[in-house]
Amino acid sequence: MNLLEFRNVRAAYDRIDVLFGIDLEVPAGSVVALLGPNGAGKTTTLRVAAGLHPTTSGDVLVAGRRVNGTAPEELARRGLCLIPEGRGIFPNLSVRENLRMMTYSGVSLSAVEDESYQRFPRLKERRRQLAGTLSGGEQQMLAMARGLATHPALLLLDELSMGLAPIIVEELYAIVAQVAREGVSILVVEQFASTVLGVADLAAVLVHGRVARVGTPAELQDELSKAYLGG
Amino acid sequence: MIEHPERIDQFKNDIAAMQVRDPASGRDRLFARGGLTLMIIGVIVGIVGYTLSNQTTNPLAQTDAVIVALIGISVSIIGAALFLRGSLAAFLRFWLARFIYEQKAQTDRVVDRLGS
């Protein structure tokens, strides 16, 4: 069964069309990479899935249910989590205080901290530090820790690698792979494909608001070259 | 191999049980626009009532004009309530969440200080 499905989804910003009828499926328990050049509509696709951006036509299905127009907080409450580009942490709060923001659902702070520090030991060392003073990789870890504290069933990751050193990106994707093994379905958007293809079960190439190709990472290498380099 | 398939099942059940609002109804937007329209209409009716009362020396006609103006004010108040419901509810919810968080943080700071 698909945990997330787009059926001929179109979306626009005012009168400017961005998505031109995309079809995409995220099977339960899998990692799907959505790749493509800048401006292809990748982030908009995630925003549509999270309920943050309306569709102009087409259907968005979550766990087989059409959810067009559902408030993002309703989807989040039930287990859909978006970690946005730029991480979305509170820079003037400490790591601990950022994690405390995830206790709104009734989970104790100690439970959130235990789980987060177990997954990201470096955050424990930085727990009293202001989030804005963390390195880019640590900020991304904090964003992921905060998202995972909600125990999502469907995780949407936007440009996880943005501005990070390759070794940190590999470290983060190792955690993504572990999270996927735990049963979380993941749709990850990336502009730079090399690392994400190592953990993805499926990949789709989005070009000019259209899904140009869907396949296994191995099948898509050629398609990616064309998407990025033309021809 | 998925380690915790039960989370997926729970997610499916939660989504199935969710009340999905029909996006075509756009209720919040309707409330906001309807409320704004009623506010404007109410003010106009109030001004009309005031003008009518000024144009006559007949006390009965003036009473009627005052009633018209009062209806206008009532419509404005109802419009304002609908506008608040439609446009500011989300903002106020966010403000309330932030307020609760600040209060919690302040309480913790006080408790830490008292404990040290």
Residue B41 tokens, joined: 């209409």
- pTM of full prediction above 0.90: no
Question: How far apart are the CA of B38 and the nearest CA of chain A, in angstroms?
Answer: 26
Distance between CA atoms of residues B56 and B37, nearest Å: 29
Nearest to A185, CA basis, from B12, B23, B47: B12
Give the C-alpha separation, B37 to B83, whole Å: 9
* A63: nearest CB among B5, B6, B12: B12
Question: Tens of pLDDT along A152-182?
Answer: 999 999 998 888 888 889 999 999 999 998 8
Neighbours of A221 (CB within 10 A): 12
| A142, pLDDT greater than 90 | yes
pLDDT tens digits along B35-67: 999 999 999 999 999 999 999 999 999 999 999
Which residues on A lie below 8 Å from B8 (Cβ)? 3, 28-29, 153, 183, 185
Whether the CB-CB separation of A212 and A202 falls below 8 Å is answered with no
Chain B CB contacts of A70 under 8 Å are: 18, 20-21
Say which residue the tokens 């987060």 belong to: A116
Residue to test with chain B: of A81, A184, A186, most B Cβ within 10 A: A184
Q: How far is B105 from chain A (nearest CA, A)?
A: 8
Res. B24: pLDDT tops 70: no
| Euclidean distance between CA atoms A157 and A179, whole angstroms | 12
Say which of A54, A97, A183 has its CB closest to residue B23.
A54
Q: Grade residue B102 by pLDDT with cuts at 50, 70 and 90.
A: confident
Return the C-alpha torsion angle B83, B89, B92, B96, nearest 10.
Answer: 150
pLDDT digits (tens, 9 = 90+) for A54-111: 999 999 999 988 998 888 988 988 889 999 887 788 888 889 989 988 887 778 889 9
A130 touches chain B (CB under 8 A): no
Kindly tell me if the per-residue pLDDT of A132 is higher than 70: yes
Nearest CA in chain A to B98: A101
| pLDDT score for A229 | 56
